[in-house]
Structure 1
């Protein structure tokens, strides 16, 4: 294996992970922990936009 197994794709590819991909995916575990709050915030924002007439239901 050329990559650490803590990556979701660890061990599946023979080439090393591109540096950009490694940086781009570095926060996935943290992002997953924030997902619920992010979704709740998006729903609240959309609700407010609908109430003030920016969005229609």
Structure 2
């Protein structure tokens, strides 16, 4: 997976993002920001749904 900015961008644009934190309150730019590492589908720094690369490419194409 990429750097923190890529993780935040992908998570913010991913319709399958599900927070693994019960009291999650996103705040752009903070350590509490929505990012892939805080998603229930992220295991061992990899998206179990194989969406990371697809989402990143889609964002880069815009």
Which category of TM-score, normalised to the shorter sequence, fits these structures? under 0.3
TM-score (ref. length: structure 1)? 0.27
TM-score (ref. length: structure 2)? 0.26
Bigger fraction of residues in helix = 1
Higher RCO, 1 or 2 (CA under 8 Å, sep at least 6)? 2
